[in-house]
Structure 1
Amino acid sequence: MKIAIVLPAVSLFSVDRPNSMETVIRTLVPAAEPDETIRIFCDAGAADHGDLNVQTVASGAARARDMIAALKAWDPDVIEFHQHIKSASHIARRFPNKTRLLYRHNDVKAPRSWIGRWRYAHRHRPFEGFVFVSDASRQTFLKDYPSLADRAFTVRNPIDAALWRSDVKLRDKLIVFSGRAIPEKGLDLLCQALPDVLNAHPDWRAALFLGDWAKHAEWAGPHVERLTAASDQADVYHDALLTQVRACLQRASIAVVPSVWAEPLGLVALEAHAAGVALISSGRGGLREASGDHALYVEPLTAKTLAQAIDLLIRDDDQRTGMARSGQRFVETHHTPAIRAAELARLRRRLGAMSAS
């Protein structure tokens, strides 16, 4: 079976600077079933695609035309579009005899009017299946589009735990946050919570890895400045490489995912578990599916409750180490690439058989 994975515009599929969507794809493809031949179609611009089968098209006004031509030339059995429904729907309509999936890594926004509902219904029509990264995301989608229940499926994100694994006993007194510098990630709450915690524990430090900094610095900057002004124990990194984040998590003791929105799944939570870090989580959206019983959940989520949770794990070595160890075991057995790739392969075959009948 030939499978084309089509990334949305501006996705370069870079090894060093992947977004979470590209990381999921890069983790799943090497674990694909033996009868699956996969090619990834993305925009040109990155020189570090790794050893995967990648074909690029130039970005710009002719992108859709060139993508359609590239797909026709390769002639896949299944076309798996990731994320952007408008462009995916436009291209998918040119391939009525193929099995077409839309793979959503973020929640679908609810339509604001009957016109928006009609527009989305029109865009959904070409796809035989919709893949979501958590049951939470799937249920959010079905609240607005219940008629698509028989075409909506969950394949949770995998983690290549071996890339992240580190001994849970060999840890620095370090608290880590990694995420985009946007309000939804709870960065403002964390910046309020950390000064008191760090002042109470002068031998501990915090490291904040903030993505998309240039785009969101106007909002995030004042919060970060208040943190660094209140404590000299916090280090802030803008748009760091994935390797830098991984190296930090592999020596950290605590990771914090204080998202105030419903995370689709929370890849950063899987990464923290795999690295052997005790995780504090808001549990919003799919975060509980990511961590199961292996995170300390903060509810209600405020700066005060977040500070209390961090302080608790700093003071309790046994709980912190136990959580780190159990979380690491959990992702190594539950969120493996082999399990998720097999689920996806079964879904592709099932939809292919249905569309062929």
Structure 2
Amino acid sequence: MRVLTVLPRREGYAFDRAGAIALLVSRLADADDAVLGCPVDGDPLPGGRFVPIEEVGAPWSWLSENMRYQVACQRAIRRLRPDLIEVHNKPALAAALSRQAKVHLILHNDPQDMRGARSPGQRADLLKRVRVITVSDWVRKRYLDDLDDAPVTVMPNCLDLSALPPRLTQRKPTVLFVGRMVADKGADAFVRAWASVAGHAPDWKAVMIGADRFRFNSPRTTFIDRVEAQADAVGIIHTGYQTHAQVLAAMAEAAIVVVPSRWPEPFGLTALEAMASGAAVISSPYGGLPETVGDAALRARPDVAGELESAMLRLIGNDAEREELSRLGLERARGFDVPAARQRLMTLRRQTVSGDLGI
């Protein structure tokens, strides 16, 4: 089976700029899969065979960047002749490419915010053209909002547990935030909460890892300037962007990882990585996060006065509860290991290519 994965135009398929989608694609790709995306500097991620997009020039230069990317994808498809195309997070692109081969549209975010899927009519039409797969039931429900029930498949994100760094038996007294330094991820809520907690936890430290983008040359923003100034004032260490390997190493050492997202996370990969790394997790209760963490994390709303602070103090002051959450998190993370996810994806691919679902 010849499978071509199409990355979003802005998704970098390299170690120094990989986001959640690129990492997931690399974990799941077979060696013979082609992965299509914009060119990257240096070595691409190891999953599959990376095929850099060949930019289109005249007579296409008047088109938007998205349309030029679509034309480049269509050219690559004619050359590679895949049996199945898997498009991540781009409904309009998936619809266009469905004229050339069977398509999986894999949704990692709220489809109602995406071009080509904002209205119920657009989403209903897509179901006639492609097979829709979502990373959580929350995303599935958003897709089917104002539609009759339909065959939208949930396939959660996954981790390669065998590739994680060794977990420390004696974890460091660190409360860790990992994520993009934007308001949606609750970076400022983490700083606010630590300002109240720090005086009650003199032997602990707080660390923030993240930038505005998943890349080493991420731009500075006024939000980052403000949050980092506030972090400095309360003694929070902030590292800026770190590679995914560095993030996982930090999670393997930290006693507590906080995921204080205001934005309804479609899945919550950071929370899953933290659980798999053995940290005790504090998670917001929005979006797909409750599906990911289950009963293996404390839940705290980032903007409800005292909730995040109380959760931090509760775990800082209770070794036994931290150890129990660590145990529960590790147990839950095993259900998201990559071998089972790869087998599930292979089954879906065979079904679609064989026409079992009439797509």
Taking structure 1 as the reference length, the TM-score comes to 0.88
* 8 Å Cα contact 1:282/1:301 also seen in 2: no
Match of 1:269 in 2: 271
Match of 2:224 in 1: 220
- Residue identity in the other structure for 1:271: E
- Residue identity in the other structure for 1:139: K
**Corresponding residue to 1:63 among 50, 63, 69:** 69
- Which digits, 9 at most, give the CA deviation of each residue in 1:293-346, with x for residues without a partner? 1111125852511011001000000110121122112212x0011111222222
Q: Secondary structure at the match of 1:131?
A: strand
Q: What's the offset of the Cα at 1:119? A: 7.5
* 8 Å Cα contact 1:188/1:220 also seen in 2: no
Runs of 5+ in structure 1 lacking a partner?
none
- Seen in structure 2, the aligned counterparts of structure 1 residues 227 and 300 have a Cα distance that, compared at 3 Å, is closer
**Corresponding residue to 2:37 among 34, 42, 57:** 42
Match of 1:256 in 2: 258
**Correspondence list, 1:1-357, <5 A:** 1-30=1-30, 37-51=32-46, 52-59=48-55, 61=61, 62-93=68-99, 95=100, 98-109=101-112, 117=119, 120-121=122-123, 124=126, 127-144=129-146, 146-147=147-148, 149-167=149-167, 169-212=169-212, 214-215=218-219, 217-229=221-233, 231-232=234-235, 234-299=236-301, 301-332=303-334, 334-352=335-353, 353-354=355-356
* 8 Å Cα contact 1:81/1:88 also seen in 2: yes
RMSD of Structure 2 on Structure 1 (CA): 2.5
Q: What's the offset of the Cα at 1:116? A: 5.8
Moved more, 299-308 or 335-344: 299-308
Q: Which has the higher contact order (CA 8 A, sep 6+)?
A: 1
- Seen in structure 2, the aligned counterparts of structure 1 residues 323 and 111 have a Cα distance that, compared at 3 Å, is closer
Q: Secondary structure at the match of 1:263?
A: coil
Q: What's the offset of the Cα at 1:216? A: 6.6
Identity between Structure 1 and Structure 2 (%): 27
* 8 Å Cα contact 1:185/1:260 also seen in 2: yes
Q: Distance in 1 between matches of 2:350 and 2:280?
A: 38
- Seen in structure 2, the aligned counterparts of structure 1 residues 6 and 116 have a Cα distance that, compared at 3 Å, is closer
Q: Distance in 2 between matches of 1:266 and 1:278?
A: 15
- Seen in structure 2, the aligned counterparts of structure 1 residues 330 and 54 have a Cα distance that, compared at 3 Å, is same
Moved more, 81-90 or 310-319: 81-90
* 8 Å Cα contact 1:133/1:264 also seen in 2: yes
Moved more, 282-291 or 247-256: 282-291
**Count of aligned positions:** 342
Q: Distance in 1 between matches of 2:126 and 2:183?
A: 29
Q: Distance in 2 between matches of 1:2 and 1:289?
A: 33
Q: Distance in 2 between matches of 1:215 and 1:126?
A: 40
- Seen in structure 2, the aligned counterparts of structure 1 residues 116 and 292 have a Cα distance that, compared at 3 Å, is closer
Runs of 5+ in structure 2 lacking a partner?
62-67
Q: Distance in 2 between matches of 1:241 and 1:177?
A: 15
- Residue identity in the other structure for 2:51: Q
Q: Secondary structure at the match of 1:354?
A: coil
Q: What's the offset of the Cα at 1:168? A: 5.0
Q: Secondary structure at the match of 1:143?
A: coil
Moved more, 171-180 or 63-72: 63-72
Q: Distance in 2 between matches of 1:196 and 1:125?
A: 49
Runs of 4 or more above 6 Å deviation:
none
